Amino acid sequence: MGSWASEDTERDGGQAVGERRRGGRRPGAVLAEADGLRAAAGAVVADHRGAVEQVRAAYLGLRDRLVADELGAIPTARLRDVTEGRLRVGALEAAGLGTVRQVAEASRYTLQLIPGVGAQTAAQALAAAGQIARAVEQTVAVRLDVDRQDPLGTALVVALQRLVAAGPDARRARETAERVQAELEPLVVAAQPARGVLRGLFAGRERRARAQAAVERLEKVLAGFGAQDVPVLLAQASVDLLRPPVEAVEAWTDFELRSADYYGVLGGIVEEAGTELAAAEGFLPEELSDRVRAEPLDDTHCRVSLRGYQAFGARFVLARKRVIIGDEMGLGKTIQAIAVLAHLRARGSTHFLVVCPASVLINWTREVESRSTLRAYRVHGQEREAALAEWLREGGVAVVTFDGLRRLEPAEVAEAVTVGMVVVDEAHFVKNRAAQRSRAVAAWVERVERVLFLTGTPMENRVEEFRSLVQYLQPELVPEVRPDSAAAGPVAFRKAVAPAYLRRNQQDVLTELPEVVHVDEWEEFSPADLAAYRSAVAAGNFPAMRRAGYADPADSAKLRRLLEIVGEAAESGLKVVVFSFFRDVLAAVREALERRPFGPVDGSLGAARRQEVVDAFSAVSGHAVLLCQIQAGGVGLNIQAASVVILCEPQVKPTLEEQAVARSRRMGQVRRVRVHRLLAADSVDQRMLDLLRAKGRLFDDYARRSEVAESTPEAVDVSERSLAELIVEEEQLRLAARADETAEDGGPAQDGASSADGHPSASARR
């Protein structure tokens, strides 16, 4: 017999002599561990399949209802078109079957009871109705409507919430579980004779030898899974997937906060109806599309589920190496870039560089760290050198401005590390190759194998600008791009420049795009704005704190970002409405805009005059800007002409923002509304968002626990005055603490936020 069988048959005082195999554990222990891991893997696969099937069933229920609604709007006469006029529908219409839905829902027997309708006509009618229904199924877009929240939509949102909450790790856990099952199953079967003495005795020498080899292999495989933390991953996935369904209100609230994640998960489960594949792939030539789709994409380091078109975009970048992604604003160019960086990190690259305007520097660092496991470093400002040194030492994504790039020598960096990829956001900023920023970008592009340019500006009508950008990436393509290249239209242009350019439009790929997409634009105070902010905090002046970001309009980061958003909207011919609580902020915006805006609509205007201003704004063909004081413009006006909304600062009452945005959401709005909220990091803006997002917890902390607060959720609220006092006090304490830390480090103390005795100023306590 083999060693483990003979050892187990020898007895000494009732104990097995062979407690362990030579060089390893007892076979029974190895198999028990394998059985446990197989069971855990099987549970994850089953639980994930169950969650997916629940989503699919809810989706089909909602889709079928939408299809029925569509069929209910199609007259029965259209059945003639399907049958090339052969079907006589007069009898059907005379019997009250006026829509295709009514015909489709009828049985053949019911139709044959209608005078003038025989078996053949009934069969033809049902076949024609079925053909139309299938066509509608292929085109209907399933949209989750937060304003409707009917049972079918709620069932889908609740089903999706479980997978969204579990995150991409749930899908990865299922894939890992399937791999565990595939690897362990044959080894466990081969190792069966090792489960006990009797099995070993009757197995025969050859099977015992194979069993011993299988046990040894099992032990190594299990050790490998353990090193990869597979048991932990599977256990966590089981916990996530077995959580009880949340309440409908919680699911809908979560959907409103991150609808893109919900649609991303849904798109991974069901085919995205209404999305034309050619449009989702930017009308690339078929041969190139096939190569791109075959490109592997490792999302191990991603924390977000990619939509189909986003995954294609990431694969395009990986396949072509040096390209421009020119997707329309709002399609997730940043997420696609991060997906590429995450893939390269999984394949061994460690250092990456992102170049962007200063106005989106914070957004990039936040997106990288929230959407991936990569670390982001802001190589900018006073901490520039420290951030650069840490990036070089630890790896990750260095985010630098165009001006900052000029001080980052590629040759010096190349001596220390290999940069796996350079991403240039708002790449049209370097269209002038003679500019200093352009020369800095060119120096880096020449040294790095993989380069991605991002721009939301459509290149089809900017051929010379496009030629300039392609010159950086694929100069051999420039002769193919002639001044008249755009004359044949955007699709022909994209096919001609396909090796270097990918662009998709919202209407082509986001058929279910929610009516409102919220974007938080985080900026840093300029020195002048920061000084004004600290002065306002010291004085306990809450309104001055809220508008400190515009204290110095000539150097306001918020105002710069606002002008960029307006400029992007102008490029696309979109109308913009700008809201602020403060008249002086609107005055600063008005002064900064080159084209004279409409308004401001504020409390000084009567209702009739307000509507006249809005009507004049709506009557303009193409781009225009309307300024509104949020208290005045947020109520009673229809501004559905605007599809871009800018909020200059967060509001104390969320309902103010909701009412203002609702002015652009009304019936008649033909575009999705994009809401940009301008925020200053480490300021009253951040405090307000943190507190308002956790109103319940805030009430508990501020007003103490009460049965009313716990039993009546709608009573959990905080007055504007209480919120202002709390935020002022927090900011005074925070800045005072920072000043104390600076003083302890030997630097100048700049508190200005507390009185001489170190306590918050009297204005904060009032």
Task: Provide the token pair at 422.
Answer: 């350079």
The pair phi, psi for residue 169, each rounded to 5°, is: -60, -30
Cα–Cα distance for residue pair 766/757, rounded to 1 Å: 17
Domain 71-144 identical in fold to domain 516-693: no
Q: Determine contact, residues 561/529, Cβ cutoff 8 Å.
A: no
Sheet holding 673-680, edge to edge: 516-523, 673-680, 644-647, 576-580, 625-629, 598-601
> 355 forms bridges with which residues in the sheet?
400, 424
In the prediction, which pLDDT does 670 show?
A: 39
Q: Which of 50-64, 76-90, 646-660, 748-762 has the highest mean pLDDT?
A: 50-64
**Rg of the chain over all Cα atoms, to the nearest angstrom:** 32
Helix (H) or strand (E) holding 627: strand 625-629
Cα–Cα distance for residue pair 274/450, rounded to 1 Å: 33
Q: pLDDT band for position 255 (50/70/90)?
A: confident
Q: 510-531, pLDDT tens digit by residue? A: 666 545 678 889 999 989 999 9
Q: Is the dihedral of CA 532, 534, 538, 544 positive or negative?
A: positive
In the prediction, which pLDDT does 745 show?
A: 58
Report the 10 Å Cβ neighbour count for 619. 9
CATH topology of domain 71-144: DNA polymerase; domain 1 (1.10.150)
> 75 forms bridges with which residues in the sheet?
99
In the prediction, which pLDDT does 298 show?
A: 92
The mean pLDDT value for 535-557 works out to 92
Cα–Cα distance for residue pair 225/143, rounded to 1 Å: 41
> At a CB cut-off of 8 Å and minimum separation 6, what does 763 contact?
539, 540, 541, 728
Hunting for tokens 């889709």 — which residue is that?
A: 63
Q: 317-353, pLDDT tens digit by residue? A: 999 999 999 887 767 899 999 999 999 999 999 999 9
In the prediction, which pLDDT does 640 show?
A: 61
Task: Tell me the residue type at 67.
Answer: V
Nearest CA to 331 out of 362, 303, 364, 306 is that of 306
In the prediction, which pLDDT does 713 show?
A: 34
Q: Determine contact, residues 237/244, Cβ cutoff 8 Å.
A: no
Q: 106-132, pLDDT tens digit by residue? A: 999 999 999 988 898 899 899 999 989
> Is pLDDT at 421 greater than 80 in this prediction?
yes
- Domain 516-693 sits in which CATH superfamily? P-loop containing nucleotide triphosphate hydrolases (3.40.50.300)
Question: Which CB contacts under 8 angstroms, 24+ apart, belong to 551-558?
Answer: 552/526, 552/528, 553/588, 553/591, 553/592, 555/526, 555/527, 555/528, 555/529, 556/526, 556/529, 556/588, 557/358, 557/359, 557/523, 557/524, 557/525, 557/526, 557/529, 557/680, 558/523, 558/648, 558/678, 558/680
DSSP, residue by residue, 678-735: EEESSSHHHHHHHHHHTHHHHHHHHH---HHHHH-GGG----HHHHHHHHHHHHHHHH
CATH topology of domain 282-509: Rossmann fold (3.40.50)
In the prediction, which pLDDT does 718 show?
A: 44
Q: 680-716, pLDDT tens digit by residue? A: 988 999 888 877 665 434 333 333 233 333 333 333 3
Our separate counts of H helices and E strands in the chain read: 38, 15
> At a CB cut-off of 8 Å and minimum separation 6, what does 207 contact?
193
Cα–Cα distance for residue pair 334/371, rounded to 1 Å: 10
> Is pLDDT at 757 greater than 70 in this prediction?
no
| Residue ranges covered by each domain of the chain | 10-61+152-241, 71-144, 282-509, 516-693
Nearest CA to 592 out of 534, 549, 637 is that of 549
Look up the pTM and report it: 0.62
Cα–Cα distance for residue pair 349/722, rounded to 1 Å: 50
